Structure 1
Amino acid sequence: MTITSAFPRSPALPLLVLLFSSSLWGLSWWPLKKFVEVGLGGPVLSMLVYGPVGLALAAYLWRERTAWRSQAGLLIALALVGGWANTSFVNALMQGDVVRVMFLFYLSPVWSVLGGWLFLKERVSARRKLAVAVALAGLWLVLGGAQAFSTALSVADVLALTAGLAFAGNNVIARAGQAIPIGSKTAAVFLGCGVLSGVWVLGLGTPVPDVSLPVSLAVLAYGFGWMLLATATWQFGVTHMESGRAGVVMLAELLVAVLTATWWGGEALSALEWVGGALIACAALIEATDTGAPTPPTPIVKKETP
């Protein structure tokens, strides 16, 4: 049974599913901050959240090995790049201001445009060039404008920027790996995140703290429930919706994160940072509504020898 046959062919369904997914991603900062409050945070938490899910999906990944064997190199690259995107994003949210982290992460459309141009030889329209320029202007303001050169970036800033860069790389690799099933791509990213977080923990020599049974169950629920559900619904939404429309809907993630962090988390930004964040959001909207956006490359189907 295909994915499309398992759901009613309602045009509103992908929209609702993607809005739900974007809301989950936009709210993902809240449980992360709660885990930090009980002494569980950093790469240890991302390892415990993503690692078990990745191990559980490893059997599924192996079962589809015939499909992705011809592009195994791209699958490994996807695990590393996509894994870092998730690892650095989660750790940025735990260490930094949620609103600032989200603005810096949402530069990913800029990196996607540049990556598609450099590696996939995609045409960059004037509209997309405008989006890049607006986003870079927003980045300049978020980082402090003229003070950007005199003020060092925080660890959370670096993690957020590299998360957006890695997420864009994840998208470029995913578009190139047309022979790799969506399920295998998802499993690879979870495995990569768990492995990279584990390497980070070992490299820093960070001890895994003793946590109570309720906290352990909450971590597992967050990984297998919240994060896996957010990822699966996102994959369904973007698979069954035009890329431009999906990009606009996914801006709900930024909106949900900014509103909840300011209302519930009591966060505040300077006027300069708000203007910069607004420019970044506008750039993402320009990119998402670009009617000249390239279509994914045509899958190469290999003929099986008798």
Structure 2
Amino acid sequence: MSIARSRQRAALALLLNAFVWGCSWYPFRHLEEQGLHPLWATCLIYVLCLGLLLTWRPGAWRPLLSSPWLWLLMAASGLTSVSFNWAVTIGDVVRVVLLFYLMPAWSVLLAWLLLRERPTQAALLRLGLALAGVVIVLKSPQSDWPLPVGLPDWLALAGGFSFALTNVLLRRLRALPETSRMTAIFGGGASLAAVVALLGQSHGLAAPPCAPALGWLVVALLTGLAFLAASAGLQYGAAHLPAAAASLILLTEVMFASVSSVLLGAAELQERTLVGGGLILLAAAWAAWPERGTGTRDSGTGH
């Protein structure tokens, strides 16, 4: 296969990943309408993914016995999945996705703390640009301060932070097999979603799971297959494209989420959202661009 053909397939694989995650809000809202809370939906879908993965690679879980960092990856990726899936189900999809993509700003701070990577002047400027965008998105005429409003905002910010932590941990664990890292990610999503769902039930934030029905079970299965395909697409695309190109392609998730949610009435585009979102995306695109003298940059991991 020619290099050009390989790169085309890699780009399409990354677009698949971005499309699946950008439109993932729809099946979660459909499942909620059928009586399945997004936390229980996340648990079910990730259990399906984990089961299929371990059927394919039965020994993928073994590194968990010897790597405490994989357990931290489970927690971080689990919080990412719980926060994002819950937020896009109950909140304005565009606003949630934009706040979630504050991830590159968090990455600067976490890489400094965990990897001892001192931020460059450019990294600090990107951090300031992203924070300025968040201030604009959060500041509404009804509030004196640019603070999160409601549970979806807090979930989106928590998801972006934990997503950044997930990316930093994946860089630290890059020597481990991809299937072991995927096992930790899907296992963390399933287990943490179940724990939070049970706690949510006790505080009236989550309804108990509804009785099984063929209609929503099919949707959950198809969503799980889509997540597995998206994860495989990410792994293939990131391996066959420069990291900067991969990161920029993955930003199309925001476009897919925005277009689908506006067309289907799940989001409202306001002027401050467009302006602040533009700054956040500019900071993310800048973070993806290769710095002079390096030529590459880590590509990110998807959810």
The residue that corresponds to 1:160 in the other structure is 156
Would you say 1:268 and 2:268 are equivalent positions? yes
The residue that corresponds to 1:250 in the other structure is 250
Tell me the matched-pair count.
289
Equivalent of 2:187 in 185, 191, 211: 191
Would you say 1:16 and 2:17 are equivalent positions? no
Would you say 1:111 and 2:112 are equivalent positions? no
Q: How does 1:124-143 map to 2 (within 5 A)?
A: 124-143=119-138
Task: Return the offset for 1:277.
Answer: 0.8
Task: Return the offset for 1:34.
Answer: 1.7
Maintained 8 Å contact 2:49/2:227: no
Structure 2: gaps spanning 5 or more residues? 202-206, 299-303
SS in 2 for 1:220: helix
The residue that corresponds to 1:301 in the other structure is none
The residue that corresponds to 1:79 in the other structure is 74
When normalised by structure 1's length, the TM-score is 0.86
Change (3 A) 1:184 1:148: farther
Would you say 1:32 and 2:23 are equivalent positions? no
Change (3 A) 1:181 1:148: farther
Residues of 2 paired with 1:247 and 1:193: CA distance? 23
Maintained 8 Å contact 1:88/1:159: yes
Residues of 2 paired with 1:193 and 1:242: CA distance? 28
Maintained 8 Å contact 1:44/1:197: yes
Maintained 8 Å contact 2:81/2:159: yes
Change (3 A) 1:260 1:162: same
Maintained 8 Å contact 2:148/2:154: no
Residues of 1 paired with 2:230 and 2:270: CA distance? 31
Residues of 2 paired with 1:190 and 1:33: CA distance? 20
Q: How does 1:215-230 map to 2 (within 5 A)?
A: 215-223=216-224, 225-230=225-230
Q: What is the CA RMSD across the aligned residues, in angstroms?
A: 2.5
Maintained 8 Å contact 2:136/2:146: no
Change (3 A) 1:286 1:183: same
Q: Which amino acid in the other structure matches residue 111 of structure 2? A: G
Task: Return the offset for 1:240.
Answer: 2.3
Would you say 1:207 and 2:208 are equivalent positions? yes
Change (3 A) 1:203 1:280: same
Task: Return the offset for 1:192.
Answer: 0.7
Task: Return the offset for 1:170.
Answer: 0.4
Q: Which moved more, 1:110-119 or 1:162-171?
A: 110-119
Change (3 A) 1:150 1:170: closer
Would you say 1:144 and 2:144 are equivalent positions? no
SS in 2 for 1:10: helix
SS in 2 for 1:121: coil
Residues of 1 paired with 2:123 and 2:148: CA distance? 30
Task: Return the offset for 1:186.
Answer: 0.9
User: How big is each residue's C-alpha offset from its partner over 1:87-110, in whole Å with a ceiling of 9 and x where there is no partner?
Assistant: 111111111010000000000011
Structure 1: gaps spanning 5 or more residues? 297-306
Change (3 A) 1:201 1:145: closer
Maintained 8 Å contact 2:42/2:82: yes
Maintained 8 Å contact 2:43/2:190: yes
Maintained 8 Å contact 1:83/1:192: yes
Change (3 A) 1:167 1:273: same
Task: Return the offset for 1:295.
Answer: 5.9
The residue that corresponds to 1:303 in the other structure is none
Change (3 A) 1:24 1:192: same
Maintained 8 Å contact 2:60/2:183: no
Q: Which amino acid in the other structure matches residue 105 of structure 2? A: V
Residues of 2 paired with 1:62 and 1:213: CA distance? 28
Task: Return the offset for 1:151.
Answer: 5.7
Would you say 1:99 and 2:100 are equivalent positions? no
